Structures are given as C-alpha cells and as structure tokens.
Amino acid sequence: MTEAKPRGEIIVRNVSKAYGYGPFATPVVEDCSFTVEPNKFTVMIGPSGVGKSTLIRLIAGFEKPTRGEIIASGKPVTGPDKNRLVVFQETALFPWMTTAKNVLYGPQARGEANAATKILADFLLDKVGLRPFRDRYPAQLSGGMQRRAELARALINNPDVMILDEPFRGLDAMTKKLMLEYFAKLCEDEKRTNFFVTTDIDEAIFLADRLIVMSARPTKVRTVIEVDLPRPRDYASIFRDDRANAIKLEALSLLHEEAMKAFAGGSKAAADFIEAYRRRSAGVS
C-alpha cells in the first residue's frame, strides 16, 4: 500500500545557504527547520534583508541549499515545479500580453491550453474582479489589478502551494487594505496551502494561521506562534481583540531584538548604539 502524500506540506530540514565560496562565503540561512502545514496559511515574518526571499527561492527550487533538504508534498525539491508557484513583490506579468493571455500563460507554455482552460481563465478573472479588463495590457491596469491578475495567473495552475513574497509591498495603504481583505476571502474559499512572506506585522496576523518569526542573518526560526483567531477576520477591527494584540506584542518584541541585531551587522559602533538604546529603554543609566 502506498502512503498518501501530504499535498501541500513543505518540510524545511536543517537548511543552510551561503553565497560565495571559501573564506568569501556569506552565510544567509543557517540550520533552519520548519514545516508549512497543508491547507494552512503560514506567514513568515522577519526584518528586512535577513534571508526570507532566499528561503523562498530554495523552497521554489530556483536555488539549491548548501546543506539540508526541503521536502514538498512528500518529495525532495530538486527544481521548480508548477505545484510550488511563487507570486513575487515585483510584477511578473508579461507587458506584451493581455490580462487573459497572461492568466493563460502557464497552461499555454505546457501545451495544455484548451477550451476548458479558457473557461477556467474567465472564471478566475471573474473571481479576481478583472473580467471587464481581460483584453487590457498590464500597463493599463492599476497596481492592485496587476496583483490580482498575478494571483489568477498562479491559481490557474492549481498549485499544491502558493508561495507569496511580499505580494502587496509598494501598494498604497488603501489598495493594500482592500487587497488583503480580498485575498483573505479568496483563501478562505480556496482552502489551499499558502506560504506568505512579509515584514508587516498587521498583515501577518490578519492572514496567518501560523506565524514563523525569523532571526537576524544568518537566519533561522526564532519562534512559531499559532494565530488562533476566529475567521472570517476583519482587518479594520482585528486588533480590538486581546489575543490579536498579545500575539502582536510577542512577535514585535522578538522582531525588534532581531532587527537590532540585523542593524548592528557586526559593526562595533552600531552594536554600541544598540546597547545604549537598550539600556535607555530599560531605564538603566
């Protein structure tokens, strides 16, 4: 009897990644282990520049770890796969293709486009509110519309896991709030495994079932917090809840420590500044 594969589960086991060789090697990820549980929304949060996008590239199979292994849906990751799709912070829509053609790109490139995928593309365009814009080009769409088109372009491939690297970074505050509410609703309907990376704590808590807080570079897991808040969630009122505030406080205090370490980055002057700052905040003269 064959064992059922845990569709969408990702196991990152003792993974390290360094760039460069020998004495010039820069460790970015070090002995990092965590699990992305199937059908849950996992958010990774950490200070800027610690190595979150590096971990995404490793999980997506664009790069190989220096040490350790990554298992996705029961199989070792050896390269990119349509079951692990990444939506990046920068738009990756092809500017010369219409919205509908962009959405159909995956099936088309694999030679799988047919009448059924065209119907699915229109269904997804409807779902992300872009049906009236199906024949427009990316430059004719707003930033929020472009992100929705990218979501549809990923979803048409029905991936086991959606990997999202700060997909709403750079959007204005109002569009970001609307996108977050829209995306949360989409995910509640879909029940898929999502792995989402951000530096924004409010966004993280609003979306997450589990929050993975990362350390300074070379990064590893600092802690995992279960975000056991009821759904559906309301972005405007989520922090009226005591539990949401307790999670935010816990995560922020760890992130603050890690950001300070990342900021010091080996510099004696920066480390002295941080120590003085810490003593002043703690009321030590």
Ligand X SMILES: Nc1ncnc2c1ncn2[C@@H]1O[C@H](COP(=O)(O)OP(=O)(O)OP(=O)(O)O)[C@@H](O)[C@H]1O
Residue pair 159/107 in contact (Cβ under 8 Å)? The answer is no
Count of residues interacting with ligand X (CB under 6 A): 12
| List 27, 38, 49, 68, residue binding ligand X (CB under 6 A) | 49
Task: Confirm or reject binding of residue 54 to ligand X (CB under 6 A).
Answer: yes
In this structure, what token pair is assigned to residue 49? 């520049």
Site string for ligand X, 20-39 (x = CB under 6 A): ------x-x-----------
Cβ proximity to ligand X, 53 vs 83, nearer residue: 53
| Selection from 45, 26, 8 nearest residue 210 by Cα | 45
Site string for ligand X, 177-216 (x = CB under 6 A): ----------------------x-----------------
Cβ proximity to ligand X, 50 vs 180, nearer residue: 50
Is residue 134 exposed (0-12), middle (13-18) or buried (19+ Cβ within 10 Å)? middle
Instruction: State the minimum distance, in angstroms, from the CB of residue 89 to ligand X.
Output: 7
Locate tokens 């692990």: which residue? Answer: 84
Instruction: Select from 1-9, 30-38, 47-55, 116-124 the region that touches ligand X (CB under 6 A).
Output: 47-55
Instruction: Select from 30-38, 41-49, 201-209, 266-274 the region that touches ligand X (CB under 6 A).
Output: 41-49
Q: Which 3 state secondary structure label does DSSP give 187?
A: helix
Task: Confirm or reject binding of residue 50 to ligand X (CB under 6 A).
Answer: yes
Instruction: State the minimum distance, in angstroms, from the CB of residue 233 to ligand X.
Output: 24
In this structure, what token pair is assigned to residue 252? 């922020």
With a CB cutoff of 8 Å and minimum separation 6, the contacts of 142 are 175
Task: Confirm or reject binding of residue 48 to ligand X (CB under 6 A).
Answer: yes
Residue pair 81/163 in contact (Cβ under 8 Å)? The answer is no
| Selection from 194, 218, 197, 222 nearest residue 68 by Cα | 218
Integer angstrom CA distances of residue 90 from 52, 142, 168, 169 = 15, 13, 9, 8
Instruction: Select from 52-60, 102-110, 202-210, 220-228 the region that touches ligand X (CB under 6 A).
Output: 52-60
| List 6, 8, 51, 159, residue binding ligand X (CB under 6 A) | 51
With a CB cutoff of 8 Å and minimum separation 6, the contacts of 278 are 260
| Residues that bind ligand X in the complex, under the rule CB under 6 A | 19, 26, 28, 46, 48-54, 199
